[in-house]
């Protein structure tokens, strides 16, 4: 049998494709084995002792092999799950999830009855009525309470393509403050927070003094702690990845320069285009004074100071 992933249409509840995929079928199969006349949602169309699954081509088919996994348990093949369930990988973590209809109110009811907060997501090309209930995890710092029992050392993350956190099967390896993304997952307790052209691992809220609390775009229940917040950019003559940021901590010149450097940038100096507009934008976010490269500003304009909140020019591509 063809071992390619099922073709999935991009559903409106997703920001990007690839977060959810039906697990590949295994073993040989013939056209007679691949009946496409059954209904995963509702279970109709199969004979006595059979149940409806979704194969590697995205087609519903009847199987008579007994299930080997329970609802919510880890799985490896389409026929592993009990009736009414599909073996679906969400962020590379495959479990038996109930089928539902994303286009019908019954889909919401089906998922909420199965697991509090679960959403009916996903649609197969040619079968918009077929989705699965995807359960959330509430805390990106959580590894034991909701994720580990069903999948070992899995952590709670918000993957690209979903607007809420799920128990992930992607290995973590990026430390706090490091660049992150689909192939560089943050360690337990951190959130991959977008910034400009890239993203960095930030501590999950609650946040310490001297940091900003930023909500993850598309996932309003998840908040991260950022030392600096983007306010503008790129300016005239800058590369597309350049942004300007103001930082929350009050630091002297050396400390301010070190913080900007840790963010992949430098303190704003006299040569930056539109510095007055940058200062006005920064003062809308933090209290004055602001510290730049050999310069300080407050709401009256350029001033002198011993310390202040750093104003940085950063490269967000890393």
Q: Give the confidence band of 113 by pLDDT, cuts at 50, 70, 90.
A: very high
| Residue 25 included in any domain | yes
Do 15 and 109 lie in one domain? The reply is yes
User: Are both 246 and 289 inside the same structural domain?
Assistant: yes
Cα(193)–Cα(45) distance, integer angstroms: 45
The answer on 102 and 30 residing in a single domain is yes
Band of residue 154 on the pLDDT scale cut at 50, 70, 90: low
Same domain? 36 vs 115: yes
Residue 259 has what pLDDT?
97
User: Running DSSP on this structure, what letter comes out for residue 253?
Assistant: H
Domain assignment of residue 44, yes or no:
yes
The verdict on residue 275 lying in a domain is yes
With respect to residue 2, please indicate whether it lies within any of the assigned structural domains: no
Claim to verify: residue 20 and residue 103 sit in the same structural domain: yes
**143 assigned to some structural domain:** no
Structural domains counted in the chain? 3
- Residue 288 pLDDT level (bands cut at 50, 70, 90): confident
**Structural domain of 308:** 230-315
Q: Are residues 217 and 242 in the same domain?
A: no
Q: List CB contacts of 130: < 8 A, sequence separation 6 or more.
A: 40, 41, 54, 60, 99, 101, 122, 123, 124
70/51 same-domain check: yes
Query: Same domain, yes or no, for 176 and 58?
Result: no
Asked if residue 139 belongs to a domain, the reply is no
In this structure, are 57 and 104 located in the same domain? yes
Tell me, yes or no, whether 197 and 94 share the same domain.
no
Residues 189 and 119 in one domain: no
Mean pLDDT (the chain, rounded)? 81
Q: Quick one: how far is CA 56 from the chain centroid?
A: 25
CB 162 within 8 A of CB 91: yes
Residue 240 lies in a domain: yes
Residue from 129, 138, 157, 142 nearest 52 by CA: 129
Is the same domain home to 23 and 127? yes
Q: What is the Cα–Cα distance from 26 to 197, expressed in whole angstroms?
A: 40
Question: Is residue 5 very low, low, confident or very high in pLDDT (cuts 50, 70, 90)?
Answer: very low
Whole-model pTM: value is: 0.69
């Amino acid at each position: 049998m063809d071992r390619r992933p099922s073709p999935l249409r991009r559903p409106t509840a997703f920001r990007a494709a690839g977060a959810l995929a039906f697990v590949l079928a295994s073993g040989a199969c013939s056209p007679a084995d691949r009946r496409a006349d059954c209904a995963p949602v509702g279970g109709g169309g199969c004979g006595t002792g059979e149940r409806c699954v979704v194969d590697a081509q995205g087609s519903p088919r009847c199987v008579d092999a007994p299930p080997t996994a329970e609802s919510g348990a880890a799985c490896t093949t389409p026929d592993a799950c009990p009736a009414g369930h599909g073996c679906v990988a969400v962020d590379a973590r495959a479990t038996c999830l109930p089928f539902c209809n994303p286009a019908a109110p019954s889909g919401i009811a089906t998922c909420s009855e199965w697991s509090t907060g679960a959403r009916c997501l996903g649609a197969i090309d040619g079968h918009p009525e077929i989705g699965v209930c995807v359960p959330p995890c509430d805390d990106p710092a959580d590894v034991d309470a909701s994720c580990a029992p069903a999948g070992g050392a899995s952590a709670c993350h918000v993957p690209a393509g979903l607007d809420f956190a799920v128990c992930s099967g992607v290995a973590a390896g990026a430390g706090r403050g490091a660049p992150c993304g689909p192939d560089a997952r943050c360690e337990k307790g951190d959130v991959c927070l977008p910034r400009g052209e890239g993203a960095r691992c930030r501590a999950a809220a609650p946040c310490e003094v001297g940091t900003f609390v930023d909500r993850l775009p598309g996932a309003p229940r998840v908040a991260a702690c950022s030392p600096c917040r983007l306010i503008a950019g790129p300016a005239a003559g800058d590369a597309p990845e350049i942004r300007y940021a103001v930082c929350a901590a009050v630091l002297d010149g050396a400390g301010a320069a070190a913080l900007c450097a840790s963010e992949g940038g430098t303190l704003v100096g006299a040569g930056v285009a539109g510095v007055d507009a940058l200062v006005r934008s920064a003062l809308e976010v933090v209290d004055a004074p602001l510290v730049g490269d050999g310069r300080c500003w407050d709401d009256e304009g350029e001033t002198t100071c011993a310390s202040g909140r750093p104003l940085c020019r950063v490269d967000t591509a890393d």
